[in-house]
Amino acid sequence: MANQNKTPLSLDMKEVVIIKPSKPTPCEILSLSTIDNDLNLNILCQTIYVYQANHDFPNGKVELDPAYVIKEALSKALVYYYPLAGKIITFDDGKLGINCNADGVPFLEATANCELSSLHYLEGIDVPTAQKLVFDNPSQEETSPHPLVFKVTKFLCGGFTIGMGLSHTVCDGFGASQVYRALAELASGKSEPSVKPVWERERLVGKVLKEPLQFPIDKTSMAISPFWPITEISHECFNLSGESIQRLKMKLMKESDSVKESFTTLETLGAYVWRSRARALKLSTEGKTLFCLAVGVRHLLDPPLPDGYYGNAFVASNVVLTVKELNAKPLSEVVKLIKENKKLPCNTEYVKYSINMLETMRKENFRVEGTGASMVLTDWRQLGLLEEVDFGWKASVNIVPVPWNMFGYVDLCLFLPPSKLDPSRKGGVRIFVSLPKASMPKFKEEMEALKLMRGDEGST
């Protein structure tokens, strides 16, 4: 994420305002699920949505101020999503909950000194610049943080960005997209959201396991990187074309004669990035490395969760190999392992055990620390935010996640759809990674090799 801008971004900011629900809402204390209570999720996830100026407003209709439109819509949305107008609290037993007190959502409005095009609509934006476009929540470290914050920045061209900070304790990616879509629907004139929110966090509450915790890898067996402890982190976004991905798939399908199903983009790229990270980090060959895929379980439960459920609803699908195995195996074999293990959450007993394990970890105050030996992959490509969400300025042209301090940044990897700025990138994938700065050149080398790969080359 290294966009070299000639003019530094400067913002003229208004005072913070608090947006409250437009109608009275229930005053209550709500509990959260076991997955919501995962200690690793207790962070504010900041995402920036980029909108170009809309010069196609109907004749006679004045172009509205986006900040005003979004504030009005947020006030209406909080009637339905009233827990987001409350505060996150900690109960005596250490569990988290929501005090639904209608305190409201902090909202910051800013005006930039440039046009969005000068920042390339945030494509390849550097992290310090991106951080200026989100609400720096000073209460994030406090015991009662706001679960939702907003910052709208208007640019000289008429375009704008929406920086939404949402607590991962309250929503996962799917839930966040539901909240955002409701906001857009109300902003565009609908009287109510098409999907009504459902709380029902008690559906995903686990029990403490009687047997000792068993982890896929532990401190004695995990691979070690010479880049630890980290002195400086580099955050990068890599654009891969649909053609590059297809060539890799075809190559791996040829390499594997026995596979009965085709390889998906998630499985194929997941395997390639996992191996590339291990090489870039120079992980010790005899140590173990973990590939962890976040798999949504909304429709896998019996009965399924209702459509409006917006809490965390995913479990981990894990693959463990030694670094030597990851490097030596044909990549098609690694893809097969990911494919097989991805099916585990289809078993409701597996989901139940995963939630019980999380409850046990919470009870024992066990937090997963980032070490580089693990790669946690989250796929945002199916959330539909670039295609569907329209505030009256047409759909956003770009979405940029500001790096999250989850597992110390480095163990987390995000797959996103390409921005809509370049039509030729349709079908491609953006890969967001954070690595020790000294290891990033090798990872870039691996990504370049993928772009140059031919489908008829030998084993990968």
Active site residues: 168, 390
Look at the block and give the residue holding tokens 């759909």. Answer: 395
- Residues 6+ positions from 349 with CB-CB distance below 8 Å: none
CB 28 within 8 A of CB 94: no
DSSP 8-class letter at 212: P
Please report the DSSP string for 402-454 in residue order: PPP-STTTTTEEEEEPPPSS-GGGTT-EEEEEEEEGGGHHHHHHHHHHHHH--
Element (H, E) at 279: helix 265-280
Look at the block and give the residue holding tokens 């339905």. Answer: 80
Element (H, E) at 130: helix 127-131
Distance CA 380, CA 246 (A): 19
Closest to 286 in 3D by CA, of 227, 220, 377? 220
Structure token pair of residue 395? 């759909």
- Residues 6+ positions from 128 with CB-CB distance below 8 Å: none
Distances (CA, A) of 19 to 8, 84, 425, 441: 30, 11, 38, 44
- Residues 6+ positions from 1 with CB-CB distance below 8 Å: 124, 125, 126, 127, 130, 235, 236, 237, 400, 432
Helix 265-280 and helix 440-452: axis angle, to 10°?
140
Bridge partners (DSSP) of residue 112 are: 11
- Residues 6+ positions from 212 with CB-CB distance below 8 Å: none
Q: Checking DSSP bridges between strand 412-416 and strand 374-379, what pairing results, if any?
A: parallel
Structure token pair of residue 348? 């409701």
